[in-house]
Amino acid sequence: MKIATIFLLGFLFSLSLFGQSNNRLLQITRLTGDFYIFTTYKDYQGTPFSANGLYLVTNAGVVMIDSPWDTTQFQPLLDSIKLKHNKDVVMCVATHSHEDRTGGLKYYGQKGIKTYTTEQTYRICKAKGENLAEYRIQNDTIFKVGQYSFETYFAGAGHSPDNIVIWFEKSKVLYGGCLIKSTEANDLGNLGDANTKEWPKTIRKIQGKFGIPNYVIPGHQDWKNNSSMNHTLQLLEQQNK
């Protein structure tokens, strides 16, 4: 009996750790209420670099914004969500055409999850022969899933020509993706598809539309400092001198 009890406690502890996914490859952190940030890592210029995504737990299933950058974590993320919340992911929205956002679209589509990108992102991915979403967003759209609603918004070019943000009005959560740079960032990162001249205008349009969010989630690095939009503008000012 004593051995069985010890085994059971050890098993439950292991489940608890797995549910938190607090490891080197996949980290899940509660943001607020039913919002969670998932973070994975990939080598960038020889150094492990973090990428953030978000998921929202609703009574109709889980909404995922972007997919893990680390391709080995596509299924572990689904497993962790199922274990932690006893719910399935029902939709995934990718915020632009780079692989750290769209990498999991094919995988999740094969799992029966509805996948979405904007028409512009779809066309870019198709031209490059990369993963495509099942559904295309033609214009800025308000989605309603369970008790929550959220809005996709394209303010203009910046990090990429197709980058959108996701706005959760009720909780005032702005998911900025790679358009928004973390306050940890010392530079603008990958500028291969960037438009640094339009980028400041895009940020200011977002600020004008949504005001001061309670939370702003950048695509990479730390997300706990809420001044990341202004920090992005400062980096752009330096870049555009």
pLDDT of residue 23: 57
Is 100 catalytic? The answer is yes
Q: Is 100 helix (H, G, I), strand (E, B) or coil?
A: helix
34, 70, 96, 162: which one is catalytic?
Answer: 96
Q: Is the pLDDT of residue 7 over 60?
A: no
* CA–CA gap between residue 64 and residue 22 (Å, rounded): 19
Which of 66, 100, 131, 163 is catalytic? The answer is 100
Active-site residue 79, yes or no?
no
Catalytic residue among 190, 193, 222, 226: 190
pLDDT of residue 45: 76
Is 190 annotated as catalytic? yes
Q: What is the pLDDT of residue 11?
A: 37
Share of the chain above pLDDT 70, in %: 90
| pLDDT digit string, tens, across residues 123-178 | 999 999 999 999 999 999 999 999 999 999 999 999 999 999 999 999 999 999 99
Q: Which positions ≥6 away from 176 have C-beta within 8 Å?
A: 165, 206, 216, 217, 218, 219, 228, 229
Cβ atoms within 10 A of the Cβ of 216, count? 27
Tell me the pLDDT tens digit for each residue of 42-101. 987 788 899 999 999 999 999 999 999 999 999 999 999 999 999 999 999 999 999 999
Q: What is the pLDDT of residues 187-231, one digit of tens each?
A: 999 999 999 999 999 999 999 999 999 999 999 999 999 999 999
Pick the catalytic residue from 34, 52, 66, 159: 159
152 forms bridges with which residues in the sheet?
A: 166
Query: What whole-number percentage of the chain has pLDDT above 90?
Result: 87
Using a cut of 0.95, tell me whether the model's pTM lies above it. no
DSSP-based three-state secondary structure for 90: strand
Question: Closest by alpha carbon to 171, among 39, 74, 83, 54?
Answer: 54
Which domains does the chain carry?
Answer: 23-239 (3.60.15.10)
Q: Where are the alpha helices (DSSP H) in the chain?
A: 2-20, 74-85, 99-102, 105-110, 119-128, 199-210, 228-239
15: pLDDT strictly greater than 90? no
Active-site residue, from 34, 52, 98, 163: 98
Question: Considering only CA atoms, which of 57, 63, 60, 113 is closest in space to residue 84?
Answer: 57
